[in-house]
Every structure is written in C-alpha cells, then in structure tokens.
Structure 1
Amino acid sequence: MPMPGTPLFPTFKPIELEDRDVFRNLFRAYRAVTSELTFTNLFIWSPHYNFQWSLYKDWIILLCREGEDGLCALGPVGPSPRVEVTRMLLEWMRDEKGEGRPRIERADERLAGEVVGMEGISVEPTRDHFDYVYLRDDLVRLAGSRYRSKRNHINQFLRAYSFRYVPLGSEHIEDCLELQEKWCRLRRCEDDLNLLGEWEAVREILMCYESLDVQGGVVTIENKVKAFTVGEMLNDETTVVHIEKVDPDIPGLYPVINQQFCENNRQNLRYINREQDLGVPGLREAKLSYHPDHFAKKYRIVLAGK
C-alpha cells in the first residue's frame, strides 16, 4: 500500500527529504550496485538534474534532465522482469512528453540484460558513467609495487604534518563548508555548471547530514578540518563514497583521507564504490591509479523512432 503523499504514475514530484524511507526500502530490496541508486545521491543532485519521481505498480520511476539533452529517465527500480515497464516508460516519454529520442540513462547491468534484444530498443554501454569498484582491503593496505606512489605520497604527508582522523560530526559542518568554498574559489566553480552543481550537492549533504543515512570522516590538522569525505551503504557488501574534498594547498591529503575512511568505516565490507569519472581525463587517471577490482557498468537504453 503506497504511503500517503506518494505520487502515482503519471503524476511526478521532486525528491524531498520526507521521501527517504520509500526510496531506502525499495533500494535495499533491489540490492543496487550502481552509485545513483541511493536516496542520498538522488536527493543531493536533485537540483542539478531536476529529478522527479513516481510510483508505477511495484516500481519507482525517475525522470531527469541532463543539460541541453532534455528529458531522460533512470531505470525503473523494483522487481524483475521489467520489460513491460521499461517499454511503457519509453513509449510514454515519446507519446506524452514529445521526446524524439526517448532514453534511459545509467541503467545497471541487470536491467540492460533484461531488455537487450527487445524489438525497437537499443542498449549501449556508457563508459563515462561506469562506477569504479575497489576491494576495501586494497585501499586500506595499499600493498605491493602498484601502490608504491600512493604510499610515498602518504609518507611525505606524514613527515610534514601531524593529523587526526575522526568521524564527521555536526561540529565539523561549518569547517567542511569553508573548505568546500575555498576549493570552489580555486577551481572557479561559478564558471562551470558541473562544478557548481557539485558545490550545491556538497552543501546539501552537509546541511542535511544528520537526516541522511550517511557516514563521514574528517582529517584535522591543528584542530582545523583539512579534508572530509561522506559515504553510505550501497548494499550488504559495498560502501559508496559520495563526496571527498581536501585542502588543495596540502599535498598528499587525497590518498590520506581515502585510506583513512576505508580503514575506519565498516571494516566488514568487501567493496568500496568510488563512483564514475564522467569522462574527465584527470579524474579517470586518478581512479585507475587505485586499480579497481571491477566496474559497475551502466548503459543507455533508447527507443527507436517511429
């Protein structure tokens, strides 16, 4: 039985904090593996992508907008099979919303496997959106020659600074916001819509930190926050890292906050999902340098024209 206030298809509503339990229960049952399918991710990025949601039978339907590419959807979340609901959604976007190229973005491998081969529907991988998934033990131990440069950066940092790593709490929020503002000034976020969207997402996750089902950590130097990170459980064996920011004036902080968060957060987990690189060359190089165990692959599902 839908909860009071639940939008029923074809009525949609923006994602709000009060919707958390509906999403969390459905995502938990679905056992998501891609970073988009957490309430936190959808909530903090909602202003940027204009996410709207609706309930269609047993499935959550999510609409979004990606810049000048217009209306799109995420894959229906709920029980399999999803052939019928996927075709219905794509045809509804064409017939009711006037989309000339109705599409689902960032569909996970499970959904892609269900609909591949359907008449009039194409399925293509989108490498820029593949999530990087690492073995937690690899990111904690940083053992072997392939992680030598990471260990060297951490050791250089340790020779120069004395630090503390502690769980992120309400007392750190103001410092984290100041650090993000400094980062944005140096990167000129106001000139880049993607960086501006990220700044809004960081502010949202920090301001709503205690209301979201997330865990974070900070690195402090002389009692001042110099790095912070926030993640949450994605499934029973995986944590997804949503946010990671450091003071750009201090070299070595990225490998330090990464290693410390993995070591101190939920030691029983097997994997760390560090999200996608969006096709940004420097970000791709950095993520590959940590040697992912595998990718959580994503796909674009497109309805052919009439």
Structure 2
Amino acid sequence: MLWAFVATWYRVPGHYGYPGRNTYQAILTTNGLYSFVLFTYYQLEWADGRWGGYPQVGFNAGDQINYFTLDLSFSPDVIKIVNMSNIGVPGQYVFHTTGNISNVECETNGGFLSTPTRGSLYGGYELRLHGICFNETSYQVEIDGQLLTDCQLYAPLYIICIMPMVFGGTIQIRLFANNDSHPIAGTDFVTFVPEDNAEILLSNYAELTQLTEANNDNDEFTMRFRSNAITNKYLFQISVYDYAAQQDENNGTLYNPIKLHVELGLTNLNLSYIGNITIRYDSIIPTIGEPENRVHSLGITFDVVSAAQSTR
C-alpha cells in the first residue's frame, strides 16, 4: 500500500430524534498501480433521509460515469448490507477502481502465493494464501507435512491459516481441494530463527545460551530479568519451543525429529517486577518413555502482550 485515506462515521444519529445509530467506514487506497475502495458497515440502525427517501450505498465520482451502487440502495432494506459482502466477510466490501469499477477479483497471473513469503519457524502468525481463484467448496492446506485444521476460506479470493511450528529452512505449502489426495497447487516458504535480542531482557543471557547437558547438572534453569524501560513498560508472554531428535552414538547422525510448542502459562508478565523465573526441565521434556539418545534444543521467545498499566 502506497497511500490511503480513511474516513469513519461513528454512531451517527438519525433524523427527527430517532434513537438509532450508524457506524461505517470508507477507505480509499492505492499501491501505485491499482486503486481500491474498501467499505466496512459495522452498525446500521436507520436509513430514511430527511427528504423522505432512502440513501444510495456505494460511491460516485460526480461525473455520472464513475460510480457504483450496491444492491438494496434507495430502499428501507439498505440497512441489511451489514450482513452482506462481496468478499465473504459480513459488512465488508472491496472494489477495484482502476479504470472500470468492479468487484475485486482473484488474480491468477502470479500463481499460488503466500503472504508473507518468509517467517519465524516458531509459527503462530497469520498466513494468507492467494494468487489463484478458490472456487471449490472446501480446501485442505498442508505446511511442511502438517495438515492444518484451522484455515478459513474467503472464496474466491484467499485462504487464511495460522502458521504452525516447523523445522527451519525452505518448506513446502501444498493445497488440496475437496479431500483429493493430489495437490492442486504449491509454493515455497522460507523459515528462519527470529533475531535474538534477549540480552536486552535477560541479565544472565550469556550463561543461558551456553547451557548444555554437559555443563548443567541441575534439573532446572533460571532466567533473571533486567529492570529497564522495556521490562517495566510492557507485559510479556514467554513461550518455549522444543526441537528434539535421536542421535546415533556412532556417527552423530540425527533421526526421528520431533517438535513441540510448550505452553507453561507464562503470560501477562511484568519481567522487571517478577525479577526471575525458574523452569524445571521436566515441565518441558517428558521423563517417561524418553529414549536415552534423544537430544533437545530449546528455543524461548518473549512476546509483548500489552503495555503495563500505570501504578500511579
């Protein structure tokens, strides 16, 4: 997006003291090549105008050429557009306004694509799949061999999924239609380990990054937090990611890789206030049924949840 103009009408009252309120928004935007208009109708409780008629819903350049009128305009049913859409999201409309005005349509020139095209191997972020027309009734998305169950289809434009935890490197995203066993499309996705800035938060950062089984005889490890502008101002969520594999004792080859996102309930934390946290290894790594030759690599992330509340 190169430029956008946003106008919001918030709880606009009706005429003649009518108690209803209307809330809606219009966005004009361009990426430098194409222009779009986005409408969001959040709440429409009245429609009749002071002149006694009902409004036109859409847009008009004023030249009697470039205009678009939505269905139900000029009728008392116009308030029902809060439950309608041209992109599958109630109350939302998107129009392509470069040249001839039309409903936004799926683009097929670039083929099956993902946005973003690269991201953290820990996952947890939104992934938008697009570039082809999604005209089937159902789709299945497979990422790095994992079949996802929480994707949402917004036919015919795109599919939104939550990126799962994966192994690093370039992985494959594959698309299946109507439970067919053969993929109809695929694209590559590059994963990476997020940039490490934990030394800003941890006073014993160097000690923790050098922990191995060989130099750590304890059953636990402790994270000690700094007191600074960041740890004071924000609340954090701490997540643990366990990458494990069995290691051949003869040549060191790793096999049977597994991965697990471990939730320890560590959220909404003021790191400066709590000072330190001790985590037992057995709360992350199972102690029963664990092969003796399995090795683990732990990744820990600190995500900002919100700004801390002032104590004044």
- TM-score range (shorter-chain normalised) is under 0.3
Larger strand percent:
2
Larger helix percent:
1
Name the larger-Rg structure. 2
What TM-score do you get using the length of structure 1 for normalisation? 0.23
Bigger relative contact order, structure 1 or 2 (CA pairs below 8 A, ≥6 apart)? 1
